[in-house]
Amino acid sequence: MGKRKDGLDRKAQLLEAATKVFARKGYDKTTVVDICQTAKSNTASVNYYFGSKEELYAEVWKAAFQNAIEKYPPDMGLLPDTAAEDRLKAFIKSLLHRMLDSGELGYAGQILLMEMANPTETIDHIKRDAIDPMRKRMMSIVQQLLGNSVCEETLIFCAMSVIHQCMGFGFRRGKLPPQLRELEKNRLVDMLSEHITLFSLAGIAAVKETTVQTPQRA
């Protein structure tokens, strides 16, 4: 049992170290040596416990996103029949928390931003499993705000516009104006989520008013 426990501990240490390094450097710039030095392990341990750098990266994605989603669920505890405006704000707040958390729970957001800056094709199925439910949730909220007859292109544009506002603050996390950097993280997230929600609702309302609605394609 002692050897088994030691093995599990070593595997957990490698996963933790890899998460930190991938979040900081991205997949392409991270080497097995980087990970093993951070974990204080020999360079053969990645292949021994995970099979390859690619498979380790897949495990990092799954663990990081699961931990972040458990802490900051997209509905933030709201009931499914809550007003779409409130569900939009909850989704925005959840995403901002994951983008701006500077601790372990922020690794998922940092890794996602790295992927957006330098996309890899190594784990498309893992990224799809992690991101598609979030995208579908946002599309559902926006569709409720726009109406069921909205065309697919308009729905996608509006959903992407909301999400990328949050992503933009994530990309600039270390380069925000001093008055924002000095704010405590929860306070900053509250202020940003309020602003992005109001901004997005106004934009969605304008789109709904000015766009010619067409029946959705079957």
How many CA atoms does the CB half-sphere of 27 hold within 13 Å? 22
What is the structure's pLDDT at 5? 55
What is the structure's pLDDT at 2? 45
Map out the domains of the chain with their CATH numbers: 57-210 (1.10.357.10)
What is the structure's pLDDT at 119? 79
- For residues 155 and 208, is the Cβ–Cβ distance under 8 A? no
What is the structure's pLDDT at 40? 92
Mean pLDDT computed over every residue of the chain: 86
Model pTM?
Answer: 0.81
Q: Is 115 exposed, middle or buried (0-12, 13-18, 19+ CB in 10 A)?
A: middle
